[in-house]
Amino acid sequence: MVGIAKPNLGLEEKEAVSKVIDSGIIACGSVVKDFENAFAGFIGASSGIATTSGTTALEVAIRAAKLGKGDKILTTPFSFIASTNSIIYTGATPVFADIDEESFNISPEQIELKMQKEPDIKALLIVHLFGNPCNMDKIMPLVKKYNLILIEDCAQSHGTSWNGKKAGSFGDVSAFSFYPTKNMTTGEGGAVLSSNPDFAQRARMLINHGMQVRYYHDIVGYNYRMTNIAAAIGLCQLNKLPAMNENRIKNARYYNEKINNPLIKLPKHNEGHVYHQYTIQIENGKRDAFTKYLEEHKIGYGVFYPLSIPEQKCYENMKFEIKYPVTDSVKNKVVSIPVHPLLTQPELDEVVNVINKFKA
């Protein structure tokens, strides 16, 4: 079986966790502080606030930017549900713009159309999906033109860059996830990054019951604090991240070179892509036959995502517009295949051979 994801944890992490346990300070302490500083420094933001998950990081990011009830936030219909759920938790209203066919990311042209139709939209929440950067040369001028607050969902884009600048350093505020299947992990965990001191301070308060001074609660917050145990793992993972991403890119390039089945459309290599997923497209109607074939040949895969966000059952009562032609076409064709950094050469070759032999 070639698995779709495999966390890369070893002796380094075990020793770091042991050290925290021996220290007796296992909840939020100096190791979390070190991890926050190291991670924010790596991405290129002034402040980092570690949280319990990518989902809580997103919620805090939105609230740190003072968005909530009555505010419309424009986002992508093609992502993990947390991108939109986090908007809903804050009381804000999600609005969607369709994606670009090539990158699977929110389309700058569709953002512009939506802004012309609904100029009261206050913020833009982008997702660098599968580790592929959004086109920031097109998005930043729109952010400026329409005076939008920019939030980046970087749950799949640790180390992704656009023109050498890292995802998570463009927005007013950004959110990362350290779930085990992501490019780096802390077990569960997340981080909010911001270079806006006001937003960073608010995020810091929100994750810790609205406190700055102990037992003086200025705003209603949460307990979304990361533990020292998780942060210790995070520091090790951050050290390994550049090499792990290089392996992902190398694996993706190998597939691009070797997979040559005419039924399959490969992702175009994009500078700055870190291949959280390597996502191919199988012509409409043959996707389910293909995934069944992968199962028979013991190749792990994922369908990210089979439904658009606005059409999910949980949003039935929200009366979202549910027609997004590009998303609706792509969601029926996508399959993500193993690209994780621990794949061996025989495994890569097995994936290539199996896929090249697929017949409709």
Ligand X SMILES: *Cc1c(COP(=O)(O)O)cnc(C)c1O
Q: Which runs of E-coded beta strand occur in the chain?
A: 47-51, 72-75, 93-96, 121-127, 149-153, 161-162, 165-166, 173-177, 190-194, 211-213, 216-217, 264-265, 278-282, 334-337
Q: Is 93 exposed, middle or buried (0-12, 13-18, 19+ CB in 10 A)?
A: middle
Q: Which is nearer to ligand X, 79 or 251 (CB)?
A: 79
In the complex, minimum distance from the CB of residue 205 to ligand X, in angstroms, rounded to a whole number: 21
Helix (H, G, I), strand (E, B) or coil at 314: helix
Closest residue to ligand X using C-beta atoms: 54
Considering beta carbons, is residue 207 or 348 the nearer one to ligand X? 207
Nearest to 51 by CA among 151, 189, 156: 189
> Distance between CA atoms of 148 and 97, rounded to whole angstroms?
15
φ/ψ region of 117 (left if φ > 0, alpha if ψ in -120 to 50, else beta) reads: alpha
Between 127 and 235, whose beta carbon lies closer to ligand X?
Answer: 127
Phi, psi of 202 (to 5 degrees): -65, -40
Q: What is the closest distance, in whole angstroms, from the C-beta atom of residue 191 to ligand X in the complex?
A: 10
Residues engaged in binding ligand X (CB under 6 A) = 53-55, 58, 79-80, 82-83, 127, 153, 155-156, 177, 179, 190
The smaller minimum CB distance to ligand X, of residues 89 and 146, is found at 89
Total Cβ atoms within 10 A of residue 322: 16
CA 292/CA 317 separation, integer angstroms:
34
Of 75 and 169, which CB lies nearer to ligand X in the complex structure?
A: 75
Q: Which is nearer to ligand X, 179 or 320 (CB)?
A: 179
Find the distance separating the first CA and the last CA of the chain, reported in whole Å: 23
Considering only CA atoms, which of 13, 2, 44 is closest in space to residue 298? Answer: 2
CB of 183 to ligand X, least distance (A): 11
Decide whether 17 or 82 has the Cβ nearer to ligand X.
82
User: Closest separation between CB of residue 156 and ligand X, Å?
Assistant: 5
The residue among 83 and 237 lying less far from ligand X, judged by its C-beta, is 83
- Which residues, including other chains, have CB under 8 Å from residue 190's CB and lie 6 or more apart? 50, 51, 52, 53, 54, 55, 56, 57, 58, 155, 175, 176, 177, 178, 226
